[in-house]
Structure 1
Amino acid sequence: MIARWWTLVVVALVLAVLGDPLAPVALAGMPVQDAGTGTGSIRGRVDDADFGLPLAAVQVLVVEANRTVQTSSQGNYLVSGLAPGTYTVIFTKDGFDRLPVFQVLVTSGGVRDLDVELTGKFNEMNEFVVEDVLQLGAGTELALLQLRFDSPALLDSISSDLMSRAGLSDAADGLKLVSGATVQDGKFAVIRGLPDRYVSSQLNGVRLPTADEDKRAVELDQFPSAVLESLQVSKTFTPDQQGDASGGAVDVRLKGIPDETVFKFSSQVSINSQVAGRDDFLTYEDPSLNYWGNSGGNDVQPTGGNWTGAVGISRETAPLFDYKYSFAAGGSRELDSGVRVGGLASFFYETDTSYYEKGRNDSYLVRDPGGPLVPKPSQGTLQQGEFQTALFDIDQGSRSVQWGGLATIGLESEFVKTDLIFFYNRTAEDKVTLAEDTRGKRYFIQETLGTDEYDPNDPSDPGHAGPNLDAANRLAAPYIRTETLAYTERTTTSLQWTGAVSVPLTDFGWDGLLDFSEPEVSWNLSTNRADQIEPDKRQFGSVFLPETRFFIPGIIDILQPAEFIFFRPAASVNLGNLQRTFKEIIEENDQLSLGVTFPFEQWDGRGGSLSFGLFADRLERTFDQDSYTNGNGDPNNDFAAPGGFGDFWSASFPNENHAIVEFASDVDYEGTQDITALYGMIDLPLSEQLRLITGARFERTRLAVTNFPEANALWVDPGDPANGIPPDEQATTLEPGEADVPGENIDEVLPSIGLVWEPFRDVTLRAAYSKTIARQTFKEVTPVLQQEFLGGPLFVGNPNLEQSQIDNFDLRLDYVPYEGGIVSVSWFAKDIEGAIEYVQVDASLGTYTSPFNYPKGELSGYELEVRQDLGRMWDRLDGLSIGSNATFIRSEVELTDREKAEFAAPGIAAPLESRDMTQAPEYLYNIFATYDVPESGTQLTVFYTVQGDTLVAGASATDDFVPSVYALAYDTLNMSLTQELGPYLKLKFQAKNLTNPTIDEVYRSQYIGGDTIRTSRTRGIDYSISLSASFAF
């Protein structure tokens, strides 16, 4: 693959530099980019107005793109690779009047012809023209707002400038400023309430692989603001986009090659209020994290003997501060041949530390219809007297490093523009989790003894000391401790070759109807790889039994010493109390996209375009996991605890005799996903005010998985609820081939039609309909048992899962009262057939989560957005700008017939017909204000965001009723203060998450009364100070 790459690159560069007239034709036969990359071009000729002769060496500046080219000896020029939008083009040459041309519209894949004439210089231009041009600025919010206004799709964008003002560190943070957008798990895009499976996330238009074991989605936290130019979100599907862009398409645009030589440097130090000054930060002996995040963790040690290495937590002083730095250098120059060459190199590095304590992770259920929530028991019941609960108090500490770089080289001639882009990111994280259940015992004594008083240090306390030598109370809801040490390395690599070429063909078409001009061919060829390794994840569990006195007057008086014994959750009863897991996930893809656009003028001279393209993506994933344990038969299965629960068995465990053996129950797999597509679309002006954008995309998907189960691998067959086949209640042995997904070609035709109406100069109304799909992930169709920490939640895949079909409806009204201001109202609706939703299922191995196709789902909502420069309303408010957006979402999925029957059963008595869609917040608010004082170089920015209640997991009703789990609404307040220090330096102070809300998940149902906490934590407040320098030559 790489050899083919470099051959094509060398050919393209040689042809372009030599100016071979056959170069456009040669390049036209190469792989070219899907117009979904969103590029267009401006081309034309510049003549002397007085003599009618071509003018050479005219400077042509596209202001918003910060792109400059010179006309050739024949007066011709081409500026390609432009994002769709409206541009200001300025033509300058010594001895001639400067000529600005405003409102030059560039469409996706289109070529805009712009021929001009320059007149001899007799007087200066009016000053206001230059001022208006300077206000636009390259890569600013103003340019992106203009792009939104002129785009045929519903497009929202966030510039790197706005992200910097908001103190946002990466693309995931930046996405939160887009109306209707939020982020799941800190890194995955959710657009209009539709999570990652409904969102196509890309890098410069390229669909990247991901090594996340849970999702088939790009992790946006791996793109730091240091390498970002903008974040563009298209909320309507057009045929040149990916077929799974149901909620939207998120395109992370990397910084391009600058026209002038630049050098930039930035450094920052920061602290977190929950980390700074701690002397009890969670860590472990000899942690794996190093400066470059490439330690690789531990190797597998010989089985049958004792293994070295910590198995539990330790405490130490927290890092004093975190830091980050980045630098970038680049520029371009024009050769004597008229070819412009350039390059950009960027490097970034950062550390991050987080900590929280007294978090919660509680499991509850409703035992009796109409009754209250009670702790979910395992390995027994309250009535049996010997059981365990899962009411965990959580402390967690995390340290991470992230570093990487961006390198771009480019070439541009009269007909050809091409770039070679390399991006690399490495993220390593050491996460330590301490989970302790002491509240289960209090529940037991309240229910059985009717008291809240319990003293674990009193040998005679009835909470653990039973009468007549009965030790059952000692094993009733005992104290439990789990310790998890998880080190993870993630890397992402992308090598992209992109470009565009104009093919000099004779004009053709239907005279008087459609007159076509020279077509443009664009391409993107990429090879990408994502890796994730968890080398030696360690999970240790112990059950504490307090010192207990058994006393019968005059007969016996026995004192049983305090001790720890093995803790094995129901899902891990065949393991010892120590698990050491080695996991590696590799995902690679080769991607080709090609687009050909034919610009035309229709019957009344208005410009449009006709586009065709193809797309191919071959993705391969390998999942390999090996688990080791001290075994269920470990004879050294207890540990004396004279210090009580304050002792940690994990501290002494490595020095004891615990033979480690392989637990042959893992399921490895290999998966492939092939996507091929063809599309055609037309952008046709019907009148001065009305445009039609329509077309269709044919897309073929093939998803195949081959499992490689070990000898003792167990799984739970999830059945096929859509056809009345319930999940198995018992875990069974997984035989080779039993749950493989052989792979079938699934063909879809995805139409799209949109209308853009401009009844007035500053008002645009857009309406669109489209059909899209949502795909399964490898994990969702593979029966691999996933567990975040010992005793944590389980996940089981469903081989019967199918793609979802989505019908999308969109309306948006934009009003732009002046440059930079906007008032917008949107309505959207989505009908989903076969919606993929997660369900909690009870089985012999415990409660687990599994995905199913629901009959149908519906989602609709409204978006409101306002951005205003208050200085235009009152001079005294000059420099103050405000903006806000709000999204209101209503969602519903219809339950399967099986679930309806289960909820209505007499033993449950909680009838349900439907519920909300998962990950769809009820509302989203973003409010921001910026205040600029140009005279002093001071800038103050405040950002406030709110995310409403969001369903995380739906209710279940197998043996007992488990209510739905909702994430409660929470807010975030960020502020930054920037001060220029001369022409080159800037000093910035930032405070993030000033509200520091408690982030809660709760059980919620009309059948249980009020909410009950499921999980809870806080993130702390971040304070930082940074110094940046920028030099242009």
Structure 2
Amino acid sequence: MRKTVLTLIVAIAAAYSYAQEGFIRGKVLEEATGEPLFGATIVKQGTITGTSTDFDGNYSLKLPVGTHNIIFQSVSFQSIVLEGVEVKANEPTILDVVMKEDVQQLGEVVVTATVAKDNEFGVMLVQKKSVNTLDGISASTFRKVGDSNLSSAMKRVTGVSVQGDKYVYVRGLGDRYTLTSVNGMVIPGIDPDRNDVQIDIFPTGILENVLVYKTFTPDLPGSFTGGLIDIQTKAFPEKKNTSISMSLGYNPSMHFNSNALSYKGSSTDWLGFDNGARDLPVTPKTRLQQDNETTSLFDPTLGAERGSNFMNSSLSFSHRNQLVGKKLTWGYNALFTYRNRNSYFQDFERRQYERNAIGSGIGLVRDYTAKGDLSQNEVLWSGLASIAAKSANTTIGTTFLNIQNGVTSAVKRTRRNTALNNPTFLYNDILTYTQRNMFNNITYGKHQIGDVRLNWTNSFILSSQYEPDYRETAINEDDGQLGFRNGGLMNRFWRELSEVNENFKVDVEFEANENNKLKFGGLGSFRAREFDVYNYAYGNLSASNVNSTDPNDLSQFIISDSRTNGLYIQNATDESNAYDGTQTLFAAYAMNEMRIGERLKSVYGVRMESVKMNYTGIIEQDNGIEEKVTDQETLNETNFLPSLSLIYSLSETMNLRGSFTKTLARPSFKEKSEAFIVDPITGIWFIGNIDTKQAEILNYDVRWENFFRPGEKIAASLFFKDFTNHIAIVAFEVAPNQVTPRNVGSAVAYGAELEGSKNLWNTPAGTLSVGGNFTYTISRVDRTTVTVSETGQNEYQSEVNFKGSENGVERYRNMSMQAPFSINANLSYETTEQDWSANLSYNVQGETLTYVSASIVPEVYTSPFHSLNFKGSRNFGKDNNQSLSLRIQNILNDDNELRYRTESDSELFSLRNPGTTFTVSYSYSF
């Protein structure tokens, strides 16, 4: 009886153990090309239990709990046997492998499973085998250095600098020459007037890897020159995971400060949008009556209030999984992030200078100084949801991304105008709110039809920017008397921008033979924008004497039944500042990837892009008369963009690359307009130039690269870029605070990049690694090709006329927004058990020309900002499913500073001290 019971117990236990199942999942790559290997079989050794890879190289195999030997096989490839693969219950084991062509019939290779668990090798292989010059960073690197969002991770990519902890510049070129795509489809940022995307909205947990393309091929958009940043998300997560994370950040110079500024907005500001409290209380374009009834409709709050602010905070939630069915495999992701940041800049300063001829030299004469306090509250939340289904030959999926951003700003400062002809002293309050939203849906399909691969993608984007009830008050003090007689003002405005963007593209790829891979496709894109602005000002200012510098006390001077001569609101809208714009773009391309012998590969092709832009608004004709136009064509160009790349394999690990390409940069809707758009805090007026042309760029690149092992490489590059009609932001020659886009007839930028990464030592306890990159750029603009006045006078002539002689006037200068150098360095440590990690990173860009000079207007340069940051993380709990980290930003406590500069003088333009921020984060996964 006992034997029977014991036998039964053992049988039940064995059956239960066998019933427990898990998965092995991963990706199979072809070593020769770095591309996914379609149709490879994965089988448990000694059985017929197996599966095969789809056309993305992914596979999923269900196996009983225990240890197994797994065979990877494919026709004409060397088989691989992974021994000792451990399968756990209800948990996937990740195995990524690379298979070599079996040209010598060498049979199979037997290795242990542990060598194939790091996808860093996959990213390195993509870089090594890519037809583009590119750099990248993998999900395993995110985990190793403890990066929680993409902005901190990108600082380790060669030639990349991150501005404001959120915008990426490649090779020092500004956002005009940088594009961002998600899974191959270009998306805009939350600021409709920028090309680059605020990358800190992407948590690293949902990313597979990030690739930075530095050279153009015909299958990529033609409108990038510096770089294309492709963010690749995981459509099919390897395992089920739910995570929650939160953080608190403290800056001693910014938080819990009783002098911080704010004003009463709406009850939903903490959600990143206004609930209507700031909406225009009258119908737009209505002619207002000078009476109490109309004026009382407007919020009487005009000044900032002092009060303590809170520290930074964030919260995020994500859930993802892969479900394997009989016919289809499903993958889904859901993500929500919320961030609330407070900043307080004490003694924020903005100065304006003009050049003045003094004897035989040129000096700087101060025009005004604005100094005081600036507080901002920024709320940003984003939601991402994706679902995809695949069979062996087809994948179809869709992704929804919504980003909401609200920024409240309050300024209280004094402004001293020191111009000799009109000195004034003002008490200046500014209240602003900016609300941005971007909604994006990307739906895609991937199909393998025999030897042909067909991909299609549709992207629909809605974006908006709403700036309700900007308020500025300036109270003048003259001989001890307060009022509005000399420079005083009370202004308000509402601005609203909306844009719709629809894109559809198709790519077809097939191998004509073993040495030629052909690819062709096309793109159709449509964009439409509406921009409206409504200005209002208070009348009867000159008749008012006030007794307080606080704008909120002005309510006693507002018009009422008993004060018929008080301040009243009036319409000051200039309809020429509103505009509508449309852009249609059609593109088609063809390219061939051809092997020439065993070591040389060529990639050549051409892309055609045809674009039209139309403008609706008021423009000034040649005779000086303003006229309303509807759908006036402002741009009509068809361009052929050739591309030729050669990749020579010097050895198994070493490549030499060379390429020639032609690319474009197009002006934005705002630039091709007649609008006057002011930034009330800096006081800078942006004035559109409807005659702005698109820029055309010839690009030459050479790169040598050596890949030692995952995480270790060295590379050196040379590049040369020849710009025609480079678009620069240039100041008007007699108005230092007014800037406009101008085309530069001739400009070049050339330089070198050097990068390296190395594991300093590997010990049983952990790994210490170091990495760094240096980019050096020389740029040159022919100033005789830059128009700076309505009469056609160029920048060089303007300075010659101002100085009265050509002596000391340089014909060439640096390109605006082109950094002369950038340095990134990092030192990382991770324990073998991955329970401790630490990372120290440093980033700096050289002094960069920001605003170009003309006549009395001096040049403005952005000073180098030395960014030293530290992050340490401790993972603990079951399977390290919990994490606690400390991040310290701006350890050197450096300032954000812009400076005027002439041949002999340098003065402050603006100054902000961001201070040092300490952030503690906690995350939990289950």
**TM-score where L is the length of structure 1:** 0.76
Of 219, 228, 238 in structure 2, the residue corresponding to residue 240 of structure 1 is 219
Contact 2:363 2:905 in 1 (8 A): no
Q: 2:464 aligns with which of 500, 524, 531?
A: 531
Query: What is the aligned partner in structure 2 of residue 637 from structure 1?
Result: 544
* Map 1:216-255 → 2, pairs under 5 A: 216-225=195-204, 227-255=206-234
Alignment partner for residue 735 of structure 1, among 621, 627, 631? 627
- Return the offset for 1:194: 2.0
Q: Write the mapping of 1:494-509 to structure 2, written as runs, cut at 5 A.
A: 494-504=440-450
**How far apart are the structure 2 equivalents of 1:101 and 1:397?**
49
Structure 1 pair 186–938 and aligned structure 2 pair: CA distance change class (3 A): closer
Deviation track 1:572-622 (CA, whole Å, cap 9, x = no partner) reads xxxx712211111111111101000012443xxx5x421011111111111
Contact 2:85-2:113 within 8 A present in 1 as well: no
1:896 aligns with 2:814: no
Match of 2:377 in 1: 399
- Offset of residue 734 of structure 1: 3.3
| SS of match in other structure, 2:156 | coil
Q: Match of 1:300, as an amino acid?
A: L
Q: What do residues 783-829 of structure 1 show as CA deviations (whole Å, max 9, x unaligned)? A: 11111116701111111111111100011111122232011111111
Which has a greater percent of strand? 2
Equivalent residues in 2 for 1:413-432, closer than 5 Å: 413-432=391-410
**How far off its partner does 1:201 sit?**
1.9
Measure the CA separation in 1 of the matches of 2:908 and 2:709: 48
Change (3 A) 1:1004 1:78: farther
Q: Take 2:907 and 2:113, find their aligned partners in 1: how far apart are those partners?
A: 62
Match of 2:504 among 592, 612, 619: 592
Q: CA deviation at 1:887?
A: 0.6
- What CA RMSD, in Å, does the superposition of the two structures yield over aligned residues? 3.7
Write the letter of the residue equivalent to 1:829: F
Aligned mates of 1:812, 1:371 — CA distance in 2: 46
Match of 1:656 among 522, 542, 558: 558
Does the alignment pair 1:129 with 2:112?
Answer: yes
3-state secondary structure, aligned to 1:501 = strand
Q: 1:344 pairs with 319, 323, 333, which one?
A: 333
Relative distance call for 1:764 and 1:627 in structure 2 (3 A) is same
Pair 1:242–1:88, CA change in 2 (3 A): farther
Q: Which has the higher contact order (CA 8 A, sep 6+)?
A: 1
Alignment of 1:560-959 (within 5 A): 562-565=481-484, 568=487, 577-602=489-514, 608-631=516-539, 633-634=540-541, 636-641=543-548, 647-653=549-555, 656-657=558-559, 658-666=567-575, 667-707=577-617, 709=618, 734-737=626-629, 741-789=632-680, 792-842=683-733, 847-871=737-761, 875=763, 878-896=766-784, 898-905=794-801, 907=803, 909=805, 911-935=809-833, 937-957=835-855
What does 1:469-480 align with in structure 2 at a 5 Å threshold?
Answer: 477-480=423-426
1:202 alignment partner in structure 2? 181
**Match status 1:283 vs 2:262:** yes
Match of 2:9 in 1: none
Q: Secondary structure at the match of 2:112?
A: helix
Structure 2 CA distance for aligned equivalents of residues 615 and 90 of structure 1: 43
Indicate the SS of the match to 2:873. strand
Secondary structure at the aligned position of 1:406 is classed as strand
Flag the 1:94–1:487 CA change in 2: closer, same or farther, 3 A.
Answer: closer
Counterpart check, 1:299 vs 2:279 = yes
Q: CA deviation at 1:706?
A: 1.0
Hey, what does 2:237 align to over in structure 1?
258
Q: Which moved more, 1:987-996 or 1:278-287?
A: 278-287
Aligned residues of 1:903 and 1:912 also touching (Cα < 8 A): no
CA-to-aligned-CA distance 1:197-238 (integer Å, 9 cap, x gap): 222222222222456364354443444545544332100000
How has the CA–CA distance of structure 1 residues 50 and 247 changed in structure 2, closer, same or farther, with 3 Å as cutoff?
A: closer
Residue equivalent to 2:21: none
Q: CA deviation at 1:911?
A: 2.0
SS in 2 for 1:735: strand
Match of 1:968 in 2: 863
Query: Contact conserved, 2:251 with 2:917, CA < 8 A, in 1?
Result: yes
1:634 Cα deviation from its structure 2 partner? 3.8
Q: CA deviation at 1:999?
A: 1.7
Partner residue in 2 for 1:433: 411
The question of whether the paired residues in 2 share the 8 Å contact of 1:216 and 1:777 is answered with no
Is the contact between residue 210 and residue 531 of structure 1 (CA under 8 Å) also seen in structure 2? no
Letter in 2 for 1:638: N
Is contact 1:311-1:653 (8 Å) kept? no
Q: Does the 8 A contact of 1:492 with 1:529 survive in 2?
A: yes
Scaled by the length of structure 2, the TM-score of the pair is 0.84
Amino acid at match of 2:344: Y
Report the equivalent of 1:510: none
CA separation in 2, counterparts of 1:155 and 1:537? 43
Distance in 2, Cα, partners of 1:673 & 1:801 = 15
User: 1:499–1:522: 8 Å Cα contact kept in structure 2?
Assistant: yes
Distance 1:702 1:360 in 2: 42
Hey, what's the Cα distance between the residues in 2 that align with 1:178 and 1:478? 49
Relative distance call for 1:64 and 1:799 in structure 2 (3 A) is closer
Aligned-partner SS, 2:181? strand
Determine if contact 1:692/1:756 at 8 Å carries over to the other structure: yes
Other structure's SS at 1:244 match: coil
Give the Cα–Cα distance (whole angstroms) in 2 for the partners of residues 858 and 257 of structure 1: 44
- Per the alignment, do residues 1020 and 702 of structure 1 end up closer, same or farther by CA in structure 2, a change over 3 Å counting? same
* Alignment of 1:312 onto 2:312: no
Corresponding position of 1:10: none
Q: 1:484 corresponds to which residue?
A: 430
CA distance in structure 2 between the aligned counterparts of 1:50 and 1:365, rounded to whole angstroms: 80
Q: Would you say the 8 A contact 2:55–2:392 is kept in 1?
A: no
Q: How far apart, CA to CA, are the structure 2 residues paired with 1:398 and 1:249?
A: 31
Distance 1:92 1:744, change over 3 A: farther
- Give 2:323's aligned residue: 333
- Report deviation, 1:685: 1.2
* Aligned partner of residue 970 in structure 1, secondary structure: coil
| DSSP-derived class of the 2:38 partner | strand
Q: 1:493 to 1:298 in 2, by over 3 A?
A: same
CA contact (8 A) 1:310 1:654 kept: no
The aligned counterpart of 2:900 is: 1003
Q: Which residue of 2 aligns with 1:122?
A: none
| Structure 2 letter corresponding to 1:328 | S
Shift of 1:394: 3.9
Spell out, residue by residue over 1:266-317, the C-alpha distance to the aligned partner (whole angstroms, 9 max, x if none). Answer: 1111112222231111111346652322224512124443222411111101
Task: Report if the CA contact (8 A) 1:541-1:567 is conserved.
Answer: no
Output the amino acid matched with 1:132. V
CA deviation digits over 1:151-183, x for unaligned, max 9?
Answer: 111111134554566676644454433222224
Matched ranges for 1:94-113 at <5 A: 103-104=98-99
Structure 1 residue 415, shift from structure 2 partner: 1.1
Answer whether contact 2:473 2:489 (CA < 8 A) is retained. yes
What per-residue deviation string (whole Å, max 9, x for no partner) do you get for residues 438-470 of structure 1? 4x56x97xxxxxxxxxxxxxxxxxxxxxxxxxx
Question: Which position in structure 2 is the counterpart of 1:356?
Answer: 345
Is the CA contact (8 Å cut-off) linking 2:843 and 2:866 kept in structure 1? yes
The 1:520–1:935 alpha-carbon spacing in structure 2 relative to 1, beyond 3 Å, is closer
**Secondary structure at the counterpart of residue 357 of structure 2:** coil
